[in-house]
Structure 1
Amino acid sequence: MARSLRARRRTARLRAVALVGIDGSGKTTQAHRLAEALTAAGHPATYHRNAGGRRWLGRLAQRLGRPDPQRLVGRDGLLAVESVLRWLAIALALLSCLVTGRTAVMDRYSACQYASIRAHGGQRWERLARAGYRVFPAPRVTFLLTVDPAEAYRRIERRGTDHETMRWLTAAATAYRALPEYASFVVVDANGSPDEVSRRIRAHLAEWLPEDPASTGPPPGGTGPPSGGDARGDPAQARP
């Protein structure tokens, strides 16, 4: 009976999975990995980067001699642009996966916009955003990747493609924890290596993903690989 129940659960379609969290938490790395792992396991999946255009606006602001997007279009302008662009990105992603039947692996979702609004102190915009985003179904699982803001800052500086302040990262981390959706998130510690974080994510999707061979150790009572075997060390840190 238990085996047949597990078999039926594995046949259920995984329509959408979302990864949310502050910049530098590793969302993009983990979303790409998850889409690849699901596809390899026989559940075709597509990665979708539901960005709000903040990075693009930041580059435009710098070219025009402004330090950041908010100084270019104002706080309300920034939140309006973010909300609209992210809404369009999510709508296109869901439509694409509805047509193709593939699983949507969402790199950012509506919760990212709500957190951004709160971190900017634009609470009145949150009501409008929630009204617009209400048309989107909740993902089957939403992973909140949590990382120390100082570590997130180091990762962002290391990749060298954009810049965030510690003040912003701290405010965004606080905003995620304050969201009413927080209780429904699967909170994943993302301070470790990408491989460690991937294993934690896969463990929550065991219905669709086989056990990760990298997470299995020697059999009980074993002493490790046989003489001459390849004892693997810790994986190298990948760029978040």
Structure 2
Amino acid sequence: MTAPARFITFEGIDGSGKSTQARRLADALREAGHEVVLTREPGGSPGAEEIRRLVLEGDPDRWSAETEILLFTAARRDHLERTILPALEAGKIVICDRFADSTRMYQGLSRGDLRALVDQLHDLMIGREPDLTLLIDLDPDTGHARAKGRQGHEERFEDFGPELQRRMRAGFLALAEEFADRFRIVDGARSEQDVARDVLTVVEPELA
């Protein structure tokens, strides 16, 4: 099946189910005959995965928000060069679990008034927005409980507590208004199957 290259991202608070929905969408599109690259941020390339360990593990106060912005931008640049752009140039669909909108929220808004700095670095070093962003919206307390229940090693941001998630949700909804041309909001407070169905309904017209 031939379809135009598309860059699709999933955003949402921790525990919203966006990673699961990104995988489900990738599987559905592959079954339909599309060439799909499923990736994530921070990460998605060898260098970016090394930075991922630095920013997602350890004490919540390990890095300042300013340092995190630099680390995430460095990881994103490597990811863009080595994974995202080559796949798009080859005509593939790229599905990414988080991208620059997460940095706008976590470091640019929720941990300080640094949104302008995030956008300046993004314009200078990245210069690319997704074609479509799916925001999986969920109650912050529910999301935080889900995220903490995973009991993994990458819990540095979950350890900031539910108040951060509340600010994040409000911020993501504001971003969806700011970038209304590419954002679509999907209700995440339903079964995994129902959310996946709605995600596919949003995405399929973009591939026509």
**TM-score band (shorter)?**
0.7 to 0.9
Aligned residue among 149, 163, 166 for 1:167:
163
Alpha-carbon contact 2:5-2:91 (below 8 Å) kept: no
Please list the CA deviations of residues 22-78 of structure 1 after superposition, one character each: whole Å capped at 9, or x if unmatched. Answer: 12111211111111111110111110112165664342x3xxxxx31xx22322112
Deviation of residue 192 (structure 1)? 1.4
Alpha-carbon contact 2:88-2:94 (below 8 Å) kept: no
How many corresponding residue pairs?
191
Q: Distance in 1 between matches of 2:103 and 2:23?
A: 21
Aligned residue among 147, 161, 168 for 1:156:
147
Please say if 1:84 is aligned against 2:74.
yes
Aligned residue among 174, 186, 195 for 2:184:
186
The code of the aligned residue for 2:170 comes to T
Q: Distance in 2 between matches of 1:58 and 1:98?
A: 27
Compared CA separation, residues 130 and 100, structure 1 to 2 (3 A): closer
Aligned residue among 87, 106, 119 for 2:110:
119
| Structure 2 residue matching 1:188: 3-state secondary structure | strand
Compared CA separation, residues 192 and 132, structure 1 to 2 (3 A): farther
| Structure 2 residue matching 1:206: 3-state secondary structure | helix
Alpha-carbon contact 2:104-2:118 (below 8 Å) kept: yes
What is the aligned partner in structure 1 of residue 48 from structure 2?
none
* Pairwise CA RMSD: 2.4
Deviation of residue 203 (structure 1)? 1.1
What is the aligned partner in structure 2 of residue 29 from structure 1?
20
Q: TM-score, normalising length from structure 2? A: 0.80
The code of the aligned residue for 2:88 comes to L
Compared CA separation, residues 133 and 40, structure 1 to 2 (3 A): farther
What is the aligned partner in structure 1 of residue 4 from structure 2?
13
Deviation of residue 132 (structure 1)? 2.9
Alpha-carbon contact 1:50-1:90 (below 8 Å) kept: no
Q: Distance in 1 between matches of 2:97 and 2:39?
A: 6
State, as a whole percentage, how many aligned pairs show the same letter.
26
Q: Distance in 2 between matches of 1:176 and 1:20?
A: 8
Please say if 1:110 is aligned against 2:106.
no
What is the aligned partner in structure 2 of residue 197 from structure 1?
195
Aligned residue among 39, 44, 48 for 1:48:
39
Deviation of residue 196 (structure 1)? 1.3
Please list the CA deviations of residues 156-176 of structure 1 after superposition, one character each: whole Å capped at 9, or x if unmatched. Answer: 121111431101111111221
Q: Distance in 2 between matches of 1:84 and 1:193?
A: 36
Unaligned 5+ segments in structure 1 are: 1-9, 62-66, 210-240
Q: Distance in 2 between matches of 1:28 and 1:133?
A: 25
What is the aligned partner in structure 2 of residue 39 from structure 1?
30
| Structure 2 residue matching 1:160: 3-state secondary structure | coil
